[in-house]
Structure 1
């Protein structure tokens, strides 16, 4: 196993004349084949994709996640990985992987457009309903932290607790914030219109689910690097 991991590390640092998304696909498949940990291999393998795209300059921030795509196509995902292990079918795996990268990138672009439209719409709403500078400042802050308390609002905007409470209540009245706890004290508020843009029925693939699938490898290998 250590030899396989060392070979993977060598490949990561090698000057390989391949597109970065292809390299990310090769690295992910090989890491999942090596399967070095008792638990968490799936999560780490998916993070490797995003980190590699950032490290190679294709992403400025880690904003591209394939987790939901892999969950929606779970059976095909495992079948493609097994085909690499059993038959060396890297082409089939890469076609599947790169299709996912394209779909997720398009979804991320559309989500970004929706965020811009939402922000402009809510700025207009505030100008009509709560025409204060602090209201606009709170809206801007919610795009950094979409779940807040009145105390956090007071600290961030540098206003008094009564002013923060009044502002939060006004945001609730016009539908920008929703109280989540049902309590009278220590309440937590969420910017639901923004959070809903990121909802996905597929959810995050779990490593428990992947552990129920057939083992991808019977012994540590480095077929990608040796080929």
Structure 2
């Protein structure tokens, strides 16, 4: 299993049971689909803000905050600014792999 697939699986674990299929149900829209879209976005932009998540996924800032909070709780992203406002989040495992690959 590749790194991207493993990360998708971790993110999909955020959604309630029964939301992992492609039935097009309204419940799926707010769960697994957004989690997968966020993972894909993080591969392109490993450091991101809540505003960028909301814009990329076309969801409300509150929904973006909730999703990023879940990702932070399970260790996919980490808040890196230490600020109360204007926080930035880093895709931890991805950045670590890049760092390891560039060590001399």
Give, in angstroms, the shift of residue 175 of structure 1: 0.5
Find 1:164's aligned residue among 50, 56, 64.
64
Give, in angstroms, the shift of residue 132 of structure 1: 2.0
CA distance in 2, matches of 1:172, 1:135: 12
CA distance in 2, matches of 1:198, 1:128: 25
Q: 1:1-227, aligned counterparts within 5 Å?
A: 117-130=2-15, 131-199=31-99, 200-202=102-104
CA distance in 2, matches of 1:164, 1:156: 10
More helix by share: 1
Give, in angstroms, the shift of residue 117 of structure 1: 1.4
Provide structure 2 residue ranges, at least 5 long, that are not aligned to the other structure.
16-30
CA distance in 2, matches of 1:162, 1:122: 23
More strand by share: 2
TM-score by length of 1: 0.37
The structure that has the greater radius of gyration is 1
> Which shifted more, 178-187 or 129-138?
129-138
Which structure would you say has the larger RCO, counting Cα contacts within 8 Å and 6 or more residues apart?
1
TM-score by length of 2: 0.78
- Paired residues in the alignment total 87
CA distance in 1, matches of 2:5, 2:103: 27
* CA RMSD, 1 decimal: 1.3
Structure 1 ranges of 4+ moved more than 4 A: none
Q: Is the Cα–Cα contact under 8 Å of residues 47 and 90 in structure 2 kept in the other structure?
A: yes
